[in-house]
């Protein structure tokens, strides 16, 4: 029996998906990559969302549908929960007794006062090329902090976001703003992190400052103090049956894969291609050199190549 014939749909608890199914005139568009439970899922965290197009028409929205904004709302709750737990174990412990009568465990103490635990966040708020509602992460964390604080806080201390910094989705600015949170604002932890370029991760690991947020890249693998909302590991050398299984379900025999000309997206393209080939799906078209933020007109030549390849399905390693 071939490996393709032995494929089974991944279990519901093995991965995550992003947004619903959208109709176009010719194509059905499936967005996959993050939170909604579905039979079509991945067994490791995805660094970028995936767009799958097929030439099969279906009616309405598919099983992976979700409401606008639901992604960040759910993600925010998870990030806040992780934060509360980690604050309790990494540096300050938890409990409702007054601070004067309880002692926090040894650890990173910056940002901890007799009455507060101070944190600050960073995100791509002013420039958001992927169009995700990053502001909802902050809203979710504040809401959860309010709940914890109403129950006595952590070791008698109130959780407080004292600063939110904007990195405009740029790697250099992310590092600068992350450093500013630690060195200027004096935060105990950096949270929430809501950006596609977490270049400040290595700096936080070196400083031993906890960070909590949106896991979209392998930057989260830099150290034990970094906590992504879906875990902090990304495996690009682990072929996965999810997309090949989806191709089989849709009757797609010829699949194309495209992605941006950045390392994280190119790694994702290689991973998808390897996955398709391992399970017997042909991949006659691959393009991993698309400019980030490309326009419709600049993509025209690529569209023609896709047509010439006579694809049944196209999947991407892109966020937009």
CA–CA separation, 61 vs 56, rounded Å? 13
Q: In the chain, what are the domain boundaries? A: 17-66+239-317, 70-228
**pLDDT at residue 80 in the model:** 53
The answer, yes or no, to whether residue 109 has pLDDT greater than 50, is yes
| Beta-bridge partners for 120 | 163, 190
pLDDT tens digits, residue range 83-107? 555 555 444 444 444 544 445 444 5
d(CA 234, CA 201): 15
Two tokens at 16?
């995550």
Regarding beta strands 313-317 and 158-166, do their DSSP bridges make them parallel or antiparallel, or are they unpaired?
unpaired
Range with the largest mean pLDDT of 29-38, 52-61, 94-103, 148-157: 148-157
**With bands split at pLDDT 50, 70 and 90, how would you rate the model's confidence at 22?**
very low
pTM of the prediction? 0.60
Q: Are 309 and 285 in contact (CB under 8 A)?
A: yes
What fold, for 70-228? Answer: Rossmann fold (3.40.50)
CB atoms within 10 A of CB 65: 14
Please tell me the predicted confidence (pLDDT) of residue 256.
Answer: 96
User: Which CATH architecture describes the domain 17-66+239-317?
Assistant: 3-Layer(aba) Sandwich (3.40)
Whose structure tokens read 């000309």?
Answer: 261
> One fold for both 17-66+239-317 and 70-228?
yes
Give the model's pLDDT for residue 31. Answer: 35
Q: How far apart are CA 319 and CA 317, in angstroms?
A: 7
């Amino acid at each position: 029996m071939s490996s393709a014939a032995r494929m089974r749909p991944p279990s519901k608890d093995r991965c995550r998906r992003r947004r619903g199914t959208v109709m176009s005139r010719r194509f059905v568009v499936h967005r996959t990559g993050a939170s909604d439970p579905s039979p079509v899922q991945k067994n490791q965290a995805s660094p970028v969302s995936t767009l799958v197009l097929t030439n099969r028409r279906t009616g309405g929205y598919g099983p992976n549908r979700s409401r606008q904004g639901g992604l960040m709302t759910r993600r925010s709750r998870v990030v806040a929960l992780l934060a509360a737990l980690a604050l309790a174990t990494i540096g300050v412990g938890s409990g409702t007794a007054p601070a004067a009568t309880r002692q926090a465990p040894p650890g990173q103490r910056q940002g901890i006062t007799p009455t507060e635990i101070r944190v600050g966040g960073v995100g791509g708020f002013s420039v958001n090329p992927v169009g995700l509602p990053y502001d909802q992460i902050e809203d979710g964390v504040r809401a959860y902090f309010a709940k914890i604080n109403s129950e006595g806080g952590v070791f008698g201390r109130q959780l407080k976001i004292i600063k939110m910094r904007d990195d405009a989705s740029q790697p250099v600015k992310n590092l600068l703003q992350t450093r500013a949170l630690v060195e200027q604002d004096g935060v105990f932890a950096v949270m929430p992190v809501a950006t596609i370029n977490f270049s400040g991760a290595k700096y936080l690991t070196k400083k031993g400052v906890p960070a909590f947020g949106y896991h979209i890249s392998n930057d989260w693998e830099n150290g034990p103090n970094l906590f992504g909302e879906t875990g902090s590991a990304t495996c690009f050398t682990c072929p996965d049956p999810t997309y090949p299984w989806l191709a089989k379900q849709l009757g797609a025999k010829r699949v194309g894969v495209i992605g941006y000309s950045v390392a994280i997206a190119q790694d994702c393209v290689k991973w998808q291609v390897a996955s398709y080939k391992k399970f017997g799906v042909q991949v006659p078209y691959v393009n991993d050199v698309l400019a980030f933020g490309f326009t419709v007109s600049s993509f025209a030549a690529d569209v023609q190549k896709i047509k010439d390849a006579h694809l049944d399905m196209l999947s991407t390693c892109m966020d937009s």
